[in-house]
Structure 1
Amino acid sequence: MNMEKQMTYEMSSPPFVLESHFSEDYLHFSEVINPPEKSDREAAAIWDLLSLKQGSSVLELGCGYGRIANRLAEKGARVTGLDISGILLKKAEADAAERRVDVEYVLGDMRSLPWRDRFDAAFLWNTSFGYFDEADNERVLHEAASSLRKGGRLLIDQDNRFDLLRDQSPIVVQRNDDLRIHLINPDPLTDRRNLERIVVRNGCVRRSRISIRYYGFVEYARMLPSAGFETVEAYGAEGGEFTSYGPRLVVVAHK
């Protein structure tokens, strides 16, 4: 394999980080990481956690390639998905057409949303929250709150930071002869997880870097009321009970 051709993305601002990180390489490994049965199960959990019903209007922030949004539309929700990656949105639209569902996909930045008092529910799934600095992360919560009607619900799902501390070894995903390697460098002083992605495909090596802030429940219990929410609840993976070293922290807030 010819390893000479390399591309390195130097990140100068959060949008550029996200656009380069969530690229065609991300799509290439997506079904290995998120097989259909996993996505089906997660969509069902979101439906229950957000108390959705036929006709509910739902906003997914960081919707990616639509694996959850399109499934919620199949269940009868009216779904809007926003993402900063045009590549992922194109895949989401193609999948929606194949499933014969109508989902509104919007290219945009979750720190500045065009909607006010429109949705019954909103969610950020699979650690789609925490990409920015402290002020902009909290701005995302304010924007999400503003997009919701009174009584609306916001769901945030992320890796449980306590569980992450137990294993910082590289994460390797393989699809045929292609490899995706995540090298993890946690910063305990900022509660951020700095990640370098190395992709080996078609004789090329591509690298990207991203930094994610992991929040604990106490921090959510402070930030979400400040953003306009009245109650905040904690769950574990897919709505189960939260435990210190369970894999996920799921937060549900009511406006």
Structure 2
Amino acid sequence: MNDNIGKKVSLSELESYFSDDYVYFGDVINPPKTSDRQVEVIWKLLSLTQGISVLELGCGYGRITNRLAEKGARVAGLDISPILLKKAEADAAERGVNVEYVLGDMRSLPWRDRFDAAFLWYTTFGYFDDADNERVLREAASSLRKGGRLLIDNPNRIESLCHKFPICSVAQRNDDVRIDRFSNDVLSDRENLERIIVRDGRVTRTHLSYRQYGFSEYVRMLRSAGFEAVEAYGKEGEAFTFDSPRLVVVAHK
């Protein structure tokens, strides 16, 4: 039995998971055309314009953040991983854009009433227990000006429960392989990911777990955090249905 099942993720586990290996397979999992398309979706759903101030929480290696900066947004990104932030800064320099990158914990943000929009993209919400996940939402709300928007993109729990687990996926770059094994803990509403990476002759194992929330739970948490209207969308801004693979939530402060 995996002792990690049903447990929240520690900061050390997050740092181990979001390592150089994560970057190495990045363009295999999300090719540039996919990232370009996702940026257009975020731009539209958050009603962004040139010069608007935007914060990405869990910005990773900057594949979304730097593209938003290229489109004219004033962007800041926060992440727990020094390795990913270093890659994000190098990519920003190559693209000739100015992005404020900050090493930090999304449960304690250094900004207040600063941004017009914020977002957590590609399953970057739900790592912690319920109390700390709600703390993330309160911190995000505090970082936004009145009228600001928050976007969260996570798997659709309803659709996920229809799968027969465990599920495995494999990604390959040259002779290196990444194997992801997903399982569901229905008692804690957490999806668990065990990752095995075979790279340069070495084997690395990491673990990630995230809480899956339904739309009504998002509405409750977001309103408690200080947001008013809350909208639901499916994958990349489509209409949300029970079998949508993703649940994209947009909340207005």
TM-score range relative to shorter protein: over 0.9
Distance in 2 (alpha carbons) for counterparts of 1:100 and 1:13? 35
The residue matched to 2:33 in structure 1 has which SS?
helix
Residue of structure 2 equivalent to 1:60: 56
Tell me the matched-pair count: 246
Q: Could you say which residue in structure 2 is the equivalent of 1:188?
A: 186
Preserved CA contact (<8 Å) 2:8 2:129: no
Cα distance, 1:164 vs structure 2 = 2.0
**Alignment check: 8 A CA contact 2:59 2:79 kept:** yes
Q: Which runs of 5+ in 1 are unaligned?
A: 1-10
Match of 1:251 in 2: 249
Distance 2:92 2:159 in 1: 34
Alignment check: 8 A CA contact 2:189 2:212 kept:
yes
What TM-score do the two structures reach when normalised by structure 2? 0.95
Distance in structure 2 (CA, Å) of the matches to 1:47 and 1:134:
29
Paired with 1:156 and 1:163, the residues of 2 have a C-alpha distance of: 17
**3-state SS of paired residue (1:43):** helix
Structure 2 match to 1:95: 91
TM-score, scaled relative to structure 1: 0.94
* Counterpart-to-counterpart distance in 2, 1:249 and 1:161: 8
Q: 1:13 to 1:250 in 2, by over 3 A?
A: closer
Q: Could you say which residue in structure 2 is the equivalent of 1:218?
A: 216
Cα deviation for residue 13 of structure 1 reads 6.0
* C-alpha distance after superposition, 1:62-93 (max 9, x if no partner): 00000000010011000000000000000100
Task: State how far apart, in whole Å, the 2-side matches of 1:203 and 1:218 are.
Answer: 46
Cα distance in 2 for partners of 1:164, 1:115 equals 34
Percent identical among aligned pairs is 71
Q: How is 1:101-250 mapped onto 2 (pairs within 5 angstroms)?
A: 101-165=97-161, 166-168=163-165, 169-250=167-248
Does the CA contact (< 8 Å) of 2:8 and 2:127 recur in 1? no
Give the superposition deviation at 1:172. Answer: 1.1
Give, as a single letter, the amino acid of the residue that structure 1 aligns with 2:221. M
Equivalent residue, structure 1, for 2:80? 84
Distance 1:222 1:53, change over 3 A: same
2:22 partner SS: helix
**Residue 3 of structure 2 corresponds to which residue in structure 1?**
none
Segments of structure 2 that go 5 or more residues without pairing to the other structure are 1-6
